[in-house]
Amino acid sequence: MRVLGIETSCDETGVALYDTALDGGNGLLADALYSQIAMHAEYGGVVPELASRDHTRKLLPLVEQVLAEANMTRSELDGIAYTAGPGLVGALMVGAATAHGMARALDIPALGVHHMEGHLLAPMLERDPPAFPFVALLVSGGHTQLVEVKGLGRYRLLGESVDDAAGEAFDKAAKMLGLPYPGGPEVARLAEQGDPQRFRFPRPMTDRPGLDFSFSGLKTHTLTAIRKLDEAGELTPQGRADIARAFEDAVADTLTIKCRRALDATGLKRLVVAGGVSANVRLRERLRLACDKRSARAYYPRGRFCTDNGAMIAYVGAQRLQAGECDTLGQMQATPRWPLSDLSAPDAPPNAATPSG
């Protein structure tokens, strides 16, 4: 089954083509991504109306590009998957309307896909994917969640952020430090020059049991540290780098501590880490050490699939379409708020969704 995937949940337009007839790592036939970061950087964050308009301009040309790279025509498609939520409602509508319009014209099924399920299963696109069950850390600008994954659609929420997501906290810390948007990579770059011994920031909610997260207090602590340095005349380039390092260490340690607890609580030996923050080098190093101590293994999507992309939507859509799911005629979905816990397993899970290893 050849499925076109469309991702337009926020500020990146992603399109990909996945073929279920091929083995996991070989199933991705082509993918393309256009990022709006440069456009939104001027405003210090995503402007929803501008995002929607840009998706409208870029989506169909990207569809044609992906089809050309795969040496296919629209008539050879068997289904279309699109991000139905969560996300910006206007941006979601662009992808949903395009997918349903194409599907209606081609007389093939369309299916709305959960954005976070895409991130959750993005490592399945790799040549050495994790087998079910596993623990997943979803860590991005909008979500920080720990999930026990038993199979496609079989998810149990273990913990989540009660306020800011980790990626959101990175963006806010970057803004405090005068760094450009998006903040995560900028904070990480600045932290490389920082002294890890100068400051120690709190590791929120790690002094109590449970798997929930909170980053708002860490954000406040960072602002207080910046103001103190400024008042003392010590907010130098080195001072800013030292604060960036302390902030990054605190986030990486907090996420790692919670992942250790989740692995111990479930008894599982596989950890999937996905979402934009999963690309952070310091976090990966901490998680590697934590997994090594437990004879466990961490799995990540390749770099370009850590952030939003069409490949993860094509993959999840292909698995669910192959299992018989599809939108009913005219049932175009755009759901800005959509808990992952609302998802269910298909009635007939596809074989391709259960890799070995």
Specify whether the CB–CB gap between 95 and 59 falls below 8 A.
yes
Q: Which residues contact 225 (CB under 8 A, 6 or more apart)?
A: 199, 201, 243, 246
Q: What angle do CA 18, 344, 302 make, to 5 degrees?
A: 35
Neighbour tally for 233: CB within 10 Å: 8
Helix (H, G, I), strand (E, B) or coil at 328: coil
Annotated binding site: 115, 119, 138-142, 171, 184, 280, 308
Q: Known binding site for substrate: residues?
A: 138-142, 171, 184, 280
One DSSP character per residue, 146-159 reads EEEEEETTEEEEEE
Phi, psi angles (nearest 5°) of residue 134: -155, 165
Instruction: Indicate the annotated binding residues for Fe cation.
Output: 115, 119, 308
* Contact by Cβ (8 Å): 287, 154: no
Chain position carrying tokens 């997943």: 136
Give every CB contact of residue 112 below 8 A, 6+ residues apart in sequence: 81, 82, 83, 84, 85, 96, 327, 332, 333, 334, 335
Question: Between helices 237-266 and 281-293, what is the axis angle to 10°?
Answer: 30
